[in-house]
A = this chain, B = another copy of it.
């Protein structure tokens, strides 16, 4: 896996909900402004109920972009729902045979990050999406979001640790970052794509879920063994979730691993980017999460 360079081709796909065409057009323009050659996948503007077209078409767009050597990265256009429906439809053998490339997305795309981690063992980037307000909004991309997004894609985001606002359990932790949207991690419990946190730093965030639901989902992760052996926990944004920190602290403190909160990762603004499956570190003295994507090609 290598970081992006100017002139690289990026495919925009819609694995979950249907994108707003105007947001998509603006987000495409923003990515083009980074010197990238942006192509929109064939079926990204389809619609079927709350899905961006039928499952087979969304899966085909993902698989074709992944297996096309002319595409250097894949950026999802939005979340919503639908990524879990694709996981059993993808030809993972064919995807394993292709050169790995960055896949970028968050929210529902957590399911794809999990599947890429478990089936292919490759890093991917949890960050803002092309047809969302953070990149495609009418006033242009949110500056902090955009700067961090660009740095993460082109430089691997190693330079600047992501600052949090609260330390729930002090300590140091290092290991690959994993996780993402809590609802999706809960929805993968019991499936072949379930979270396996052993030795890893777990990112958790969510949107519009009441504290009792966050309680239920974290309780599920605990009872399903998904958090067993985790090295640390990094809590992102909890937009329109009330105040879930008391219940998160109650459930996570007994794990006796470092826990930091208030990271600008998830649904808030600014919305930073973090590499999953790449080396990470929690430092509770500076209350931050650091992550490095090693660039095999440029490092050689």
Binding site for B on A (CB under 8 A): 49-50, 80-81, 84-85, 87-88, 186-194, 211-213, 215-217, 219-220, 223-226, 247
Give the distance to chain B from A153, nearest Cβ to Cβ, in Å.
29
A223 and B81 within 8 A (CB):
no
Which of chain B's residues have a CB closer than 8 A to the CB of A50? 211-212, 215
Which partner residue on chain B sits nearest A217 by CB separation?
A: B187
A49 and B247 within 8 A (CB):
yes
| Pairs of residues from A and B, 8 with the lowest C-beta to C-beta distance, nearest first | A190-B224, A189-B190, A190-B190, A191-B223, A81-B212, A50-B212, A189-B189, A191-B224
A219 and B85 within 8 A (CB):
yes
Which partner residue on chain B sits nearest A83 by CB separation?
A: B216
Picked from B192, B211, B216, B225, the residue with its CB within 8 Å of the CB of A187 is B216
Picked from B189, B213, B216, B247, the residue with its CB within 8 Å of the CB of A220 is B189
Give the distance to chain B from A31, nearest Cβ to Cβ, in Å.
27
Assembly CA distance A225 to B215 (angstroms) = 24
B194 and A84 within 8 A (CB):
no
Which of chain B's residues have a CB closer than 8 A to the CB of A87? 223
Give the distance to chain B from A43, nearest Cβ to Cβ, in Å.
19
Picked from B49, B80, B81, B212, the residue with its CB within 8 Å of the CB of A80 is B212
List 24 A–B pairs whose Cβ atoms lie within 8 Å, in order of A's numbering.
Answer: A49-B212, A49-B247, A50-B212, A50-B215, A81-B213, A81-B215, A81-B216, A84-B223, A186-B186, A186-B187, A187-B216, A187-B220, A188-B220, A189-B189, A189-B190, A189-B191, A189-B220, A189-B224, A190-B224, A190-B225, A190-B226, A191-B220, A192-B223, A193-B223
